Amino acid sequence: MVNDQRESGRRQVFSAIRKAGRVARVDLARETGISPATVTAITAELLREGLIEETGTPDRSDLRRGRPRVDLKVRGAAHVVAGMKLSHLAIATALIDFEGTMIAEHTCALDKSRHSAAELTALVERALDETLSKAGLSRDQLSGVGLGMSGVVDAMGGLVHWSPSVAERNVPLRDMLGARIDLPIFIDNDANLVAMAEQYFGHGRGVSDFIVVTIESGVGMGIVINNEVYRGARGCGAEFGHTKVQLDGALCRCGQRGCLEAYVADYALLREAATTTDFADITTSSAKLQALVEAARGGDTTAQMIFDRAGRMFAMGLANVVNIFDPQLIILSGERMQFDYLYADQVLDSIRRSIIQIDLPPPQIVIHKWGDLMWAKGAAAFAIDGVADIALQNFSGNAA
């Protein structure tokens, strides 16, 4: 029981150091509510185990008082982890150290977007090995692998309930990968991992409650409440893309009607466009969408109408999330330029008009464009979480 409490204190302190970047012991005590004496004892253990290190800060106000201030930070060299993002037609991999510094990055193209779990396991292993060889590292220098993908993923159970990338349902992907790769594996929904990347490395640093909306071929959401990613009772919360924006509305790929994705995803825009436009000479969806974007920019009123409705549906769905959560901050995060229409000023205005009107400023909305490698960085942040948990547990075992 007492050891449990000590381990939980250790987790709290280590997590506070990670989230802060660099922090003084006295601020850790304030942040965690743990007494300064206990913080000192815990940080001594963490230093001894090599998980954190001391670092001086050139803070003049402290120097003037004659005491150079010593901060604590995570020791980058303690561990290396891999973060991997499985997307439509690629696997992006990032190797990062324990402090979050990028060591190597690599992207493998895939020849199709949907694979059997067995094929996928082999592809992930290959992508990992290619990245390691690029960095001149071997597998036994890695401490863990984080993998993100779209779909409904039970992170705690290591189970993929369903994903557009996986042919089967309810796949125990964590164990399948673990059996091949022989390292601790951590899997999660990709939007949750973007939320984690924002929390540790991005706009979410120091913000206790925020929402990340990710826009790729689908629409995802990650929710951070009280500094933790919120997953829901069954591990499948934050399913923003399949909230309904129209009763008996457009058919969605998930088989239901009226989902937000059925109005704003690539396929939904192209489905509408096909009614009046002949894309016969364009083969890829991506090129078709680009043509539609250019048509709208060039003044084609049908193309404009398609994007206009999608933008308004997106604003309505997002305003609903704001009315329910009332977050401090919303981060709209995506990599692809064709989604610019969802970031348009009139869309943001429409969100602000559709939320409950009180005499306080509405939540801040930030647009953050990044590529697959930033998603991979989120997967790595998740792996760092898991590897830290294992490390903190193990030396709790040593101490007992």
The binding site for a second copy (CB under 8 A) comprises 1-2, 4-5, 8, 29-30, 33-36, 152, 161-162, 169-170, 209, 221, 223, 225-226, 230-240, 242-247, 254-256, 258, 312-313, 316, 319-321, 323-328, 353-354, 356-360, 363
* Cβ nearer to a second copy, comparing 170 with 290: 170
Task: From 330, 368, 336, select the one nearest 351 (Cα to Cα).
Answer: 330
The tokens for 349 are 């205005």
* Cβ nearer to a second copy, comparing 76 with 172: 172
Q: What residues form DSSP beta bridges with 71?
A: 55
CB of 384 to a second copy, least distance (A): 23
Beta 364-369 vs 329-334: how paired, if at all?
A: parallel
* Cβ nearer to a second copy, comparing 121 with 350: 350
CB of 231 to a second copy, least distance (A): 7
* Cβ nearer to a second copy, comparing 158 with 327: 327
CB 167 within 8 A of CB 114: yes
The tokens for 130 are 């290619």
Per the rule left: phi > 0, alpha: psi between -120 and 50, beta: everything else, 62 is alpha
Other beta carbons less than 10 A from residue 235's beta carbon: 17
CB of 355 to a second copy, least distance (A): 8
The tokens for 66 are 């004659």
* Cβ nearer to a second copy, comparing 233 with 400: 233
Which stretches within 53-212 are classed as H helix? 60-64, 117-135, 173-181, 190-201
CB of 218 to a second copy, least distance (A): 13
CB of 130 to a second copy, least distance (A): 33
Tracing tokens 């995060």 back to the chain, one arrives at: 333
The tokens for 374 are 């930033």
CB of 392 to a second copy, least distance (A): 15
* Cβ nearer to a second copy, comparing 76 with 249: 249
CB of 307 to a second copy, least distance (A): 15
List Cβ neighbours of 9 (8 Å cut-off, separation of 6 or more): 32, 34, 38, 42
Positive or negative, the CA dihedral 187, 191, 196, 198 is positive
CB 165 within 8 A of CB 149: yes
Strand order in the sheet with 52-56: 22-23, 70-74, 52-56
* Cβ nearer to a second copy, comparing 34 with 91: 34
* Cβ nearer to a second copy, comparing 103 with 223: 223
CB of 94 to a second copy, least distance (A): 29
Task: From 377, 391, 323, 10, select the one nearest 202 (Cα to Cα).
Answer: 377
3-state SS track over 326-350: CCCEEEEEECCHHHHHHHCHHHHHH
* Cβ nearer to a second copy, comparing 1 with 400: 1
CB of 232 to a second copy, least distance (A): 2
